[in-house]
Amino acid sequence: MLSNYCKVAATNHGQYCIFTVIKLNSFYNCYKMLYKRQKLYGLLTISALLTITSCVKDPDIGAPIMSCGTPYSIVLPAQTPPMPIPEDNPMTVEGIELGRHLFYEKMLSGDNTLACAGCHLQSEAFADKNKFSIGIDGFIGSRGAMPIANAAWADKYFWDGKANSLEEVVLFPIQSEVEMHESVFKAIKKLQSTEQYPTMFYHAFCDSTITVENMAKAMAQFMRSITSYNYRSLPNLGKDLRNSVQQRGLQVFQDETKGDCFHCHTLTTFTTNFDFFNNGLNEDPSLNPGLAGQTGDPQDVGKFKTPSLLNLRHTAPYMHDGRFQTLREVVDFYDTGFHVSPTLSLDLLKHTKDGKPVARAWTEQDKRDLIAFLITLNDDSLINNPKWSDPNE
């Protein structure tokens, strides 16, 4: 029975227990976060995390089980860098499927009405249409939901980089008062009391006792599996652009005297380098310090995560605070609307003079062409792929 779900270790040295390897940094961050919010829960989590999580003996072979579930191999386009996958959370078919159910599970919220998917809608490229997301108590947050595709390749998450792994990400929205407002311990209790989840956790992790750690791992696996590409970016750059307007738009995007967008929104498969920059949204960035709020480094004041430009048709309104409704507003902002401050990115600083943006050498037509190019960067397979859809429908 067990061997159906559990991959047996290559070694045959008899029976022993496997301890989950907890990366010290993610452990510390998780602790830090929980400790800040709920001191008692923080301590409980530490002891839960330190518990041996899998100690399973295969009844048929007698060999130790190194990992559970059927290994999942992800197929990526040739030019895509290998997906970084944490050693202690390999992707499995069962883990991803469990993660998918959890992602669409309303029980993870305080009043059982809001799932992750309530703000990260597949039909909207896993973002939502709201300027600010609305949580279960009707509280409106101060940031827009981020699209989730290709998150596997980033090493910092959220607009201000406050989480260091997708495993860690999961704990924020569940516990956030303005989002799902539920204690993770109550959430796993609810899951444990269902018929379906203990079995699904067993299939994924060889353990039907649900832990916060395994819940986070399953959801992280599901999110890693969500990938999105557009072949109009490198290395097929522009090859299938349908008309000369879009072709010219691509040139404007690349031209350092015109759009000059490509340093941050790199035209690789992801159209972002996942890095953090101050792109001049605020006159006084210290009021909304972004990455600096996490690192404490004055150089990071006003820096936010560079979003992908894939699926812009779905991710409006734009920027972390959803301040722009249209791409036209975004382009005008990069032309003469941005603010100069000490941490402004050098790629924007070079388009300024005497502390003010200087109009670039682009024409009205260039701007229109640029927008025509940007809206070609769509990937409908992300929106339509049934493997990321609601499993209950």
Report the 10 Å Cβ neighbour count for 193: 11
Phi-psi domain of 322 (left: phi exceeds 0; alpha: psi -120 through 50; beta: other):
left
Give the pair of three-digit tokens for residue 383. Answer: 């929106």
Which of 63, 204, 348, 372 lies at the binding interface for ligand HEC (CB under 6 A)? Answer: 348
User: CB–CB of 275/303 below 8 Å?
Assistant: no
Task: Indicate the residue among 2 and 134 with the shorter CB distance to ligand HEC.
Answer: 134
Task: Indicate the residue among 54 and 343 with the shorter CB distance to ligand HEC.
Answer: 343
Candidates 322, 308, 380; CA nearest to 122 is: 380
Q: Say how far apart CA 377 and CA 320 lie, in whole Å.
A: 20
Stretch that binds ligand HEC, among 32-40, 58-66, 82-90, 345-353 (CB under 6 A): 345-353
Site for ligand HEC in 103-122 (CB under 6 A): 108, 114, 116, 118-120
Q: Say how far apart CA 292 and CA 306 lie, in whole Å.
A: 15
Give the pair of three-digit tokens for residue 38. Answer: 């709920």
Please tell me whether residue 376 binds ligand HEC under the rule CB under 6 A. Answer: no
User: CB–CB of 176/162 below 8 Å?
Assistant: no
Count of residues near ligand HEC by CB under 6 A: 54
Please tell me whether residue 318 binds ligand HEC under the rule CB under 6 A. Answer: yes
Task: Indicate the residue among 64 and 118 with the shorter CB distance to ligand HEC.
Answer: 118
Nearest distance, CB of residue 39 and ligand HEC, angstroms: 22
Please tell me whether residue 54 binds ligand HEC under the rule CB under 6 A. Answer: no
Report the 10 Å Cβ neighbour count for 347: 15
Phi-psi domain of 109 (left: phi exceeds 0; alpha: psi -120 through 50; beta: other):
beta
Which of 6, 68, 145, 372 lies at the binding interface for ligand HEC (CB under 6 A)? Answer: 145
**Cα R_g (the chain), whole angstroms:** 23
Which of 53, 306, 341, 376 lies at the binding interface for ligand HEC (CB under 6 A)? Answer: 306
Which of 229, 270, 334, 388 lies at the binding interface for ligand HEC (CB under 6 A)? Answer: 334
Task: Indicate the residue among 69 and 99 with the shorter CB distance to ligand HEC.
Answer: 99
Please tell me whether residue 248 binds ligand HEC under the rule CB under 6 A. Answer: no
Greatest Cα pair distance, the chain, in angstroms, is 76
Nearest distance, CB of residue 199 and ligand HEC, angstroms: 21
Candidates 8, 118, 141, 121; CA nearest to 62 is: 8
Residues that bind ligand HEC (CB under 6 A): 108, 114, 116, 118-120, 133, 135, 141, 143-146, 148, 151, 154, 157-160, 166, 169-170, 173-174, 179-180, 219, 223, 259-261, 263-265, 277, 279, 281, 304-307, 309, 312, 315, 318-320, 330-331, 334, 345, 347-348
